[in-house]
């Protein structure tokens, strides 16, 4: 799965949506943000990124 998806790269983009930062390795990433009200937009973008990578 890490050959197709890089968790660090995905979370870095998603964290920006919620006003934060993040990163990590291909198999593990973490992030934080200051705008939790935007979590729905971040989750929607996560789904888009995963669909695009297929």
pLDDT in tens, 43-54: 999 999 989 887
pLDDT in tens, 6-45: 999 999 999 999 999 999 999 999 999 999 999 999 999 9
Q: Which CB contacts under 8 angstroms, 24+ apart, belong to 6-15?
A: 10/46, 10/49, 10/50, 13/45, 13/49, 14/42, 14/45, 14/46, 15/42
**Two tokens, residue 53:** 């990578």
* Continuous H helices in the chain: 7-17, 39-53
Residue ranges of domains in the chain, CATH in brackets: 7-53 (3.10.310.40)
Contact predicate 24/7, CB 8 Å? yes
pTM (two decimals): 0.85
């Amino acid at each position: 799965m890490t050959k197709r998806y890089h968790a660090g790269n995905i979370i870095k983009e998603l964290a920006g949506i919620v006003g934060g930062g993040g990163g990590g390795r291909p198999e593990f990433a973490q992030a934080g943000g200051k705008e939790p009200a935007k979590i729905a937009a971040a989750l929607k973008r996560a789904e888009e990124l995963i669909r695009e990578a297929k």
